[in-house]
Amino acid sequence: MKANWDNIDAQITMQKESLANFFVHYLKFFGGKDRYSASELDVYNALAYTIRDHIIEKWLATKVLYNKSHSKRIYYLSMEYLLGRLFSNNIINLGADKEFREGLKKLGVDWEDYTPWERESALGNGGLGRLAACFLDSMATLNLPAIGYGLRYEYGIFRQDICQGYQVEEPDEWLKFDNIWEMKRIEHTVPVHFGGEVETYHIDGVEKFNWCPSYTVLGIPYDMPVVGYGNNIVNTLRLWSAKVSEEFDLQDFNQGNYIDAVSEKVEGETLTKVLYPDDRTESGRELRFRQQYFFVCCSIQDIMRKFLKESSDFRDFPKKAVIQLNDTHPSISIAELMRILVDEKHLPWDVAWDITRKSFGYTNHTILPEALEKWPVEFFQRHLPRHLQIIYKLNQHFLQEVSVQNPGDNDILRRMSLVEEYPQKKIRMAHLAIIGSTSVNGVSEIHSEILKEQVMPDFYNSFPHKFNNKTNGITPRRWLLQANPSLAKLITEKIGKEWITDLSQLKKLEKYADDKDFRKRFDKIKLENKKKLAKLIEIETGVVVEDDAIFDVQIKRIHEYKRQLMNILHVIHLYCELRDHKNFKDAPQRVFLFAGKAAPGYYMAKMIIKLILNVAKVINNDELIKDKIKVVFIPNYKVSLAETIIPATDISEQISTAGKEASGTGNMKFALNGALTIGTLDGANIEIMNEVGKENIFTFGLDIDEIKAKREGNYEPYQLYSENPNIKKVIDLIQSNFFSLHEPGIFEPICNSLLTQDQYFVFADFNAYMECHEKILQEYKNQKQWTKKAILNVARMGKFSSDRTINEYAADIWKVSPVKPKKGK
Ligand code: 26W
């Protein structure tokens, strides 16, 4: 009997009353639980499954819509997706909040009580991973036919515990309780080959290559829904998991070398075991190298399979698909597409190259030299011998072009080559990404300029048309509507709810800066959020802070260029001032809140965490300063923590050395939630200043040219130390072990690096930073003025929606327009 799909389809409709029924259904028949046995986790699971059903219908419909449109597809390749929790976000984007709440009311269940039961999907390190998550939300909300490809790590970013003031890394077993949002797509499993060698053979005089790999791993896709806001669109995030093909290598097994048989299996499956927790230095690790090829090979095969459903003429490929590379981490895709087109589809080299380089876009997220990936040639020889041949041939053709444009200039050939010859032969992945892409973009105006002028000037001269800027953005759904519902409600009451999908509407709030009642309600909301944060601080750290304290916050990965050190040195300065001058009069309590993980191998970053915690211990227990300053380090910074801290913040610390922070996105989240920024002229801080107005932000410090001059001049940090009494007092106090009585000398490395190098100009900017904070304290005392500025910050953050960013990518780079269901459909 043939399935009658029309009847089947007609069966399932999601009515209000059925939401509650579905919940009960899942609790009972899926969880096998009832009032006597149901745990909170069971209730959460049943709630999530109910919402998932709601999603699946739209997910299926979206696929049909896109297939019918025959639209060009966007493929976003990223090694990281910092998604956070999805339960609330899915309910909000489905617009099911109210319905769900009412439907469950009679069962005495409020879905919000169960959100903490969801494990975060923390498959990323920091900015790059979170940006990818915001981009997915915007692409779905903008009806763009996009798929995100990545890795389904069994362990995401480590959990940070603090022991004796030191960071300790614990595994993040996020899949311990099943990931309700994923659907295994075993039918789309693909093989991924590694190792072996390449045979050459000739067909009517044409040299052909046949890669004979030595081992194969299977890539199994798991799909997660990406729910668009209020548009019935559900896009897909496809994450690949590694599985070894043959259960056991029976040969080995029968020959009794059991261990080999099993080890190959284990070996293979370690590929997607864990996320590399390093967002600083390219690890140079073979496993990371193989992780990158594994997910690229899976994704390109999947993309090719989808393309061949649309066309069999590969010249159509760039018209049907565009692949965006989230940094260089997936850039081996360029060589992989060449391999498939030349070796498997037997296209002539030049035709294949013409197709390939029209199909990619490359986004750079950092200028830190140590973060620019260069993979040893030997890794390629061992694992990807055919790709190495292809890269060498690409390089040969490319350098020929360069030498034509620059006859006799060997230096430029050495500089631009895809191969770095000394000290060790390495492939420069950024160079491959640039020649293989139509577009190379930075993530803020200043960053994109630095790429053109300092990081890749030769490439900019050769391919000026490729270089462009796409200033980052954040999704207003998670970072305002979900994280700060009371402010979102107040805004909607005043200007309607269009702002949720068109953030430029916030501009209409400007006039309310002068509205006394609005300011009062705005302050009340901030205070409510502060109360929540104060409670969380006490639970997580034991430190008791006042609800109406000034919350001064720096939350981000711990890096020397982000200068958490300058922040804590300034706090020590304030502490000394209080102890010495006891000017407590009408001074509000100031809470200096830090949070952030350090890459496990990053010694200095770990010592900075230790210093912050030791300083906190001393200051928080010093009665002499009458609780006027509190220092808090909240462990295990993650997306859900940011969602509580940011709405409660007064002062957002964005104090990186000018020229080092590619963009920053936390800066945008704070300003959108009414915090005022103290920041350097770096990354997107500059564009935030231009949008909110110089008078509504506190900028300080050396700009990029002054830093450059200092770096090229002879910068003497020791001299600054000896000449600046504030710096001297603070450094001497640290060196006197005032904050390390029981561990004398542990902060010597920090003091030493400051006094001898101060690579990130902490001393050079210290006075300006100090004075800027004094100005802030004065301004904060004028609450009316402060609130006005805060409201104007919110009103003028429209530009920093990731919807604006994605619209620019879609128009300028991807050339893809939204796929809207036909009217009445
Ligand atoms: C190879 C190890 C590694 C892994 C990740 C090196 C570098 C990275 C990322 C590129 C680092 C990162 O997250 N960069 C941040 O990207 C954000 C999104 O564009 C920017 O807003 C931040 O300024 C930038 O530091």
Pocket test for ligand 1, best of 80, 130, 136, 327 (most atoms within 8 A of CB): 327
Would you list the DSSP string of 84-105?
Answer: E--HHHHHHHHT-HHHHHHHHH
Below-70 pLDDT ranges, the chain = 1, 8-17, 246-267, 281-283, 584-585, 823-825
CA distance 491 to 647: 14
What pLDDT, on the 0 to 100 scale, is given for residue 259? 64
What pLDDT, on the 0 to 100 scale, is given for residue 591? 98
Question: φ, ψ for residue 782 (rounded to 5)?
Answer: -95, 85
What pLDDT, on the 0 to 100 scale, is given for residue 714? 87
Pocket test for ligand 1, best of 77, 128, 669, 670 (most atoms within 8 A of CB): 128
Residue 682 Cβ inside 6 Å of ligand 1? The answer reads no
Catalytic residue flag (residue 669): yes
Catalytic residue flag (residue 556): yes
How close is the Cα of 327 to the center of ligand 1, in Å?
Answer: 8
Q: How distant, in Å, are the alpha carbons of 28, 293, 312, 349 from that of 307?
A: 43, 21, 8, 20
What pLDDT, on the 0 to 100 scale, is given for residue 580? 87
How close is the Cα of 170 to the center of ligand 1, in Å?
Answer: 22
CA distance 37 to 326: 46
Q: What is the DSSP letter of 70?
A: T
Residue 128 Cβ inside 6 Å of ligand 1? The answer reads yes
How close is the Cα of 32 to the center of ligand 1, in Å?
Answer: 44
Catalytic residue among 52, 73, 562, 630: 562
Per the listing, tokens 């996320």 go with 275
What pLDDT, on the 0 to 100 scale, is given for residue 795? 98
What pLDDT, on the 0 to 100 scale, is given for residue 563? 98
Q: How many CB atoms lie within 10 A of CB 143?
A: 22
> Can you list the domains of the chain with their CATH numbers?
70-84+120-471 (3.40.50.2000), 536-783 (3.40.50.2000)
The whole-chain average pLDDT of the chain stands at 95
Residue 443 Cβ inside 6 Å of ligand 1? The answer reads yes
How close is the Cα of 693 to the center of ligand 1, in Å?
Answer: 27
Q: How many CB atoms lie within 10 A of CB 4?
A: 9
Catalytic residue flag (residue 189): no
Residue 663 Cβ inside 6 Å of ligand 1? The answer reads yes
**Minimum-distance ligand 1 atom for the alpha carbon of 282:** 1
Contact call for residues 90 and 225 (beta carbons, < 8 A): yes
CA distance 327 to 806: 16
Nearest protein CA to atom 17 of ligand 1, as residue? 127
Catalytic residue flag (residue 788): no
Q: What is the DSSP letter of 482?
A: I
What pLDDT, on the 0 to 100 scale, is given for residue 586? 75
Cut 0.95: pTM above it: yes
What pLDDT, on the 0 to 100 scale, is given for residue 244? 84
What pLDDT, on the 0 to 100 scale, is given for residue 177? 87
Catalytic residue among 374, 478, 590, 669: 669
Nearest alpha carbon to residue 438 among 363, 329, 361, 323: 361
CA distance 441 to 447: 9
Residue 366 Cβ inside 6 Å of ligand 1? The answer reads yes
